[in-house]
Amino acid sequence: MPRVIVALLVAVLAGFAALPFVASADEGFVIKSFGTSYAVREDGSIDVIEDLLVEFTARKHGIFRDIPVLFAYDARHDREYKVDVRSVTDGQRAWRYEVSREGAIVRIKIGDPDRFVTGPQRYVISYRLSGALNSFPDHEELYWNITGVWGVPIERASAAVTAPSITAVECFQGFEGSRERCQTGISPSRADFVTGRALSPGEQLTIVVGLAKGSVAEPQPILRERKTPGEVIRDFLGLKPLPIAAAAAVGAIAFGAVIRLWWLQGRDRWYGDVQYLSGATAEEPKPLGARETIVVEYAPPEVGKPPRPLRPAEVGLLMDEAADTLDVSATIVDLAVRGYLRITEEGDRKYSLTRIKEPDEALLPYEASLLSALFKGTHGTVRLDDLKDNFYDDLARVKEMLYTQAVKQDRMFPASPQSVRVLYAVASVLVMMVGGVLVFVLGAVGAGIVGVPIGLAGLALLAASPAMPRRTAAGRELYRRARGFHEYMVTAETDRARFAEEIGLFEKYLPYAIVFKVTEKWAKAFEGLGAQQAMMSWYTGTRPFVVSNFARDIGSFSSSIASVMASTPSSSGSSGFSIGGGAGGGGGGGGGGSW
């Protein structure tokens, strides 16, 4: 069964900028104490030890600690802090931990995924911090968020800073922007800070320590030039020779696969040209651009044993590989011509149908189903307007039965053309998703462009999906003959002498003229030949019968019934947008949570 590939997704990434860390509610633990020490070195780097005593009331693997390391500095630059994690212990034994960079955040994930912990646990995190000091004309400064924002209470938070020549200190506690002071102590080489109360979830501790000018190497911020959106896209896609070459190779393979798929699966089969003369029976793919001789046919092609003419809807499906509503409306006219119902024009494009006889063995399954559905729940007469919003399910069922007839009984297609189109459309969506995922995954290493051709190939397959259904060799031969019959109906006016002998031919082939969309040309060929004699039995109009007028009337009927049958009930609903926002903590400490 052919497979489908689908829609293109090409993603654009904007550069990561530091965003305020927003705490979310956490459960199952509380921070009993959060103690930190900062040892400022002469080169301006800082050795940091964070000592967290945590009590778990639920089974957890451990905690994670987030430290922001990238902040906006000016219009063109971001400021970066370097964090070099040295160890994580419980004071004696090492904890298992992982360090990762997630955008502007360094995350230290502590704990064993195969082990749960409960009760009191201690986490001592040691790391070296670079680029954190600020320089001013009269002093150097450490301005740092100690705790960051957590989703659980911190019962006690403290910090100790050792550095040469401490000249001033300040300390704040509470939510972002709070000016509430905490407790401080200062000496020339040490400053101490401690919260005066427990911190609620989302509250934080921030300190400021001033150092004498020249007591440490003059701090220089670590700046990283911020990329423009165009540069971000370029680097994300990897617009360099190697990724571009790889994308070209992948594209050649992917598009080649789409073309080969159509070449193997989408081409009609045939017996060769003029099979009716050669008698060939070997089925093979029809060569691209191969000549196919069309001979005028004076009757619809026949199928089955014993042979019977293809019905108008079957011819319509054969021609465009789709069961259209037009094909079904032509079937209604055909049923009227064959004596199963009468069409009555009531004026102003209003029509009614009257059943003349019940479905019988002379009808194909889809015809019998259509006739029964038209008069379902009635006493034999139905107005077209009464079918509106009620017939779409029946219409879908009739179309599906028509596809089944064409595949299983007529052998015109190896599989339902509609099913093939849907299959390829669904598969193309999967290819689009694969392409999109590859763009994102490979974009992380600066090679996103390699995934783009996959998505484009999916788009190409989606565009090709209408061409993927194919006719069998027998179906192609019927198609060739149907084209010959179409040629006959288009040029019928040149054979008027023959029509004078077969007046019944007009109504007999009228449903085929509907599916071929040549009703007026077909009617013109019979102008003045007395075709009205047979018409009165199945069609009643509001004015005297004239072939040309009738052609317009029947076209109006076909259009009306197609519109009515396909209509579905309207629906109503509501949509809305909500806007919300909130403030979260920011600054050096970041925050954390449990896992």
Q: What is the tens place of the pLDDT at every residue in 199-237?
A: 999 899 999 999 999 888 888 888 888 777 888 888 888
With beta carbons less than 8 A apart as the criterion, state whether 150 and 21 touch: no
**What's the confidence (pLDDT) of residue 266?**
92
**What's the confidence (pLDDT) of residue 390?**
78
Question: Average pLDDT for residues 533-553, to the nearest whole number?
Answer: 67
Question: Average pLDDT for residues 572-593, to the nearest whole number?
Answer: 39
Q: What is the mean pLDDT of the chain?
A: 84
**What's the confidence (pLDDT) of residue 490?**
87
44 φψ region: left (φ > 0), alpha (ψ -120 to 50), beta (else): left
With beta carbons less than 8 A apart as the criterion, state whether 515 and 329 touch: no
Q: How far apart are alpha carbons 104 and 125 in whole angstroms?
A: 20
Q: How far apart are alpha carbons 483 and 308 in whole angstroms?
A: 18
For residue 563, pLDDT beyond 80: no
Cβ partners under 8 Å of residue 76, min gap 6: 225, 226
Report the DSSP beta bridge partners of residue 351. Answer: 345
Task: For CA atoms 147, 153, 154, 156, give the dihedral sign.
Answer: positive
565-571: long-range pairs with CB below 8 Å, 24+: 565/325, 565/328, 565/329, 565/387, 565/391, 565/392, 565/394, 565/395, 566/325, 566/392, 566/395, 567/388, 567/389, 567/391, 567/392, 568/389, 568/392, 569/389
Question: Average pLDDT for residues 291-312, to the nearest whole number?
Answer: 92
What confidence category does residue 96 fall into, taking pLDDT thresholds of 50, 70 and 90? very high
Q: Which amino acid is at 217?
A: A
Of the ranges 43-52, 70-79, 317-326, which one carries the lowest mean pLDDT score? Answer: 70-79
Per-residue pLDDT tens over the stretch 165-208: 999 999 999 998 888 999 999 999 999 999 989 999 989 999 99
What confidence category does residue 531 fall into, taking pLDDT thresholds of 50, 70 and 90? low
For residue 552, pLDDT beyond 90: no
**What's the confidence (pLDDT) of residue 244?**
93
Share of the chain above pLDDT 70, in %: 84
Task: For CA atoms 152, 157, 161, 166, give the dihedral sign.
Answer: positive
Q: How far apart are alpha carbons 436 and 207 in whole angstroms?
A: 45
Question: Average pLDDT for residues 147-176, to the nearest whole number?
Answer: 91
For residue 6, pLDDT beyond 60: no
Report the b/e string of 64-79 with b at 16+ CB within 10 A: bbbbbbbbebeeeebb
Q: Exposed, middle or buried, 277 (CB in 10 Å: 0-12/13-18/19+)?
A: exposed
Q: What is the CA radius of gyration of the chain?
A: 40
Residue 265, token pair as written in the block: 């699966």
**What's the confidence (pLDDT) of residue 250?**
94
For residue 35, pLDDT beyond 60: yes
Q: Phi and psi dihedrals of 533, rounded to 5?
A: -60, -35
Residue 94, token pair as written in the block: 């090492």
What confidence category does residue 480 fall into, taking pLDDT thresholds of 50, 70 and 90? very high
The larger pLDDT score, comparing residue 502 to residue 430, is at: 430
The larger pLDDT score, comparing residue 197 to residue 589, is at: 197
Helix axes 325-337, 547-566, angle to 10 degrees: 130
Q: Which amino acid is at 582?
A: G
Question: Average pLDDT for residues 474-500, to the nearest whole number?
Answer: 83
SS3 152: coil
For residue 141, pLDDT beyond 80: yes
Mean pLDDT: which of 4-13, 228-237, 466-475 is highest?
466-475
CA dihedral 509, 512, 516, 519 (to 10 degrees): 50
Q: How far apart are alpha carbons 360 and 368 in whole angstroms?
A: 7
Instruction: Give the containing element (helix H, strand E) for 336.
Output: helix 325-337
DSSP 215: S
For residue 337, pLDDT beyond 50: yes
Q: Exposed, middle or buried, 160 (CB in 10 Å: 0-12/13-18/19+)?
A: middle
First to last CA, the chain: 46
* Residues in the chain, total: 595
The angle formed by the CA atoms of residues 524, 527 and 528, to the nearest 5 degrees, is 170
**What's the confidence (pLDDT) of residue 178?**
87
**What's the confidence (pLDDT) of residue 318?**
96
Q: How far apart are alpha carbons 129 and 157 in whole angstroms?
A: 20
For residue 289, pLDDT beyond 90: no
Question: Average pLDDT for residues 313-329, to the nearest whole number?
Answer: 92
